[in-house]
Structure 1
Amino acid sequence: MVGFLGATYDWVKAAHVIFVIFWMAGLFMLPRYLIYHQEGLADPADAARWVERETKLRAIILTPAMIVVWVLGLALALNAGIADDVPGLGWLHAKLAIVLLLSGYHGWAVGYAKKLARGQAGVSNKALRMMNEIPALATALIVILVIVKPF
């Protein structure tokens, strides 16, 4: 594919995939951290360690990776012609919708980590464990959309 990215297309695509891996690693870790953090709220020292871990994960991996994913992903989508009504990009619209929802989940998890840092647990451990699977499901759907391009 050429588009406006020209010869850099493959490099941009490779960087996008690399940062998706980083983001997903963070999204797989943070919910697990939230579970352990919530279970450790009774011990202030343990809770403080989880706050520190979550803060580092967000600042070093999770949020920077998500930003890079969005910037590179939008460049790739524009290069593919998403803004020009190029036909056959239904899969890309669906992918972007899932990535938007995943970004919302990211925001929720970051917000919940901040609530836990204040000692406020609002979700049951069972619900947290179920929500821990959201990134895996979203990743599977995105990979299917990108590889199979069903529509």
Structure 2
Amino acid sequence: MPLIDALAPYYLWTKSLHLIAVFAWMAGLFYLPRLYVYHSQVAAGTPQSDLFITMERRLLRAIMNPAMIAAWILGIVLILTPGAVDWHAGWWHTKLLGVLAMTAFHGHLAVARKAFADGNRPHTERYWRAMNEAPTLLLVLIVVMVIVKPF
């Protein structure tokens, strides 16, 4: 039995763990831009700013990064599982683009966290309010592709 075929009996477990990782990642993607909205409202170098810096660092490093890595690894294991993906269908291409965009957004948030930690304000409060909606739009796209498989 090839290794790839050995994945099939664990498909539902892998899928469950993948969804748990995605939920944790999404929680961070929803919350970190909101922290940036509030952080934008306080002056750099203040105790409030220092608290936001700590919260942002912990959220990114302890929750978001591990969750994103787990979501990616488990997602790759899922697509390697025989029969899990119809490679002729187009929905998975769109889903993959959505996941890549989500990952790029995660990177954007990580760069912004470093800028805030250095006492800079990379964008306005209004910008972060708008960016707070990006994960929701990407989530809708990804879920529709996976569940409805419109094409």
Q: TM-score, normalised by structure 2?
A: 0.90
2:34 maps to 32
Partner of 1:5: helix, strand, or coil? Answer: helix
Shift of 1:4: 4.6
Tell me which of 56, 64, 67 is aligned to 1:65. 67
Partner of 2:81: helix, strand, or coil? Answer: helix
Residue identity matched to 1:37 = H
Residue identity matched to 2:105 = Y
* Residues 80 and 126 of structure 1: CA distance in aligned 2, closer, same or farther (over 3 Å): farther
Work out the CA distance in 2 between the residues paired with 1:25 and 1:140: 14
1:7 maps to 9
Matches within 5 A, 1:83-94: 86-88=87-89, 90-94=90-94
Residue identity matched to 1:53 = M
Work out the CA distance in 2 between the residues paired with 1:96 and 1:41: 39
Residue identity matched to 1:129 = R
Work out the CA distance in 1 between the residues paired with 2:84 and 2:13: 20
Are the equivalent residues in 2 in contact too, given 1:35–1:128 (CA < 8 A)?
yes
Structure 1 position 111 matched with structure 2 position 111: yes
Kindly report structure 1 stretches of 4+ aligned residues shifted beyond 6 Å: none
Are the equivalent residues in 2 in contact too, given 1:77–1:92 (CA < 8 A)?
no
Question: What root-mean-square deviation, in Å, do the aligned CA atoms of Structure 1 and Structure 2 show?
Answer: 2.0
Gaps of 5+ in 2: none
Shift of 1:127: 1.3
1:23 maps to 25
Are the equivalent residues in 2 in contact too, given 1:5–1:79 (CA < 8 A)?
yes
2:102 maps to 102
Are the equivalent residues in 2 in contact too, given 1:19–1:68 (CA < 8 A)?
yes
1:45 maps to 47
Work out the CA distance in 2 between the residues paired with 1:58 and 1:29: 10
Work out the CA distance in 1 between the residues paired with 2:12 and 2:118: 44
2:138 maps to 138
Gaps of 5+ in 1: none
Shift of 1:41: 2.5
Partner of 2:121: helix, strand, or coil? Answer: coil
2:57 maps to 55
1:127 maps to 127
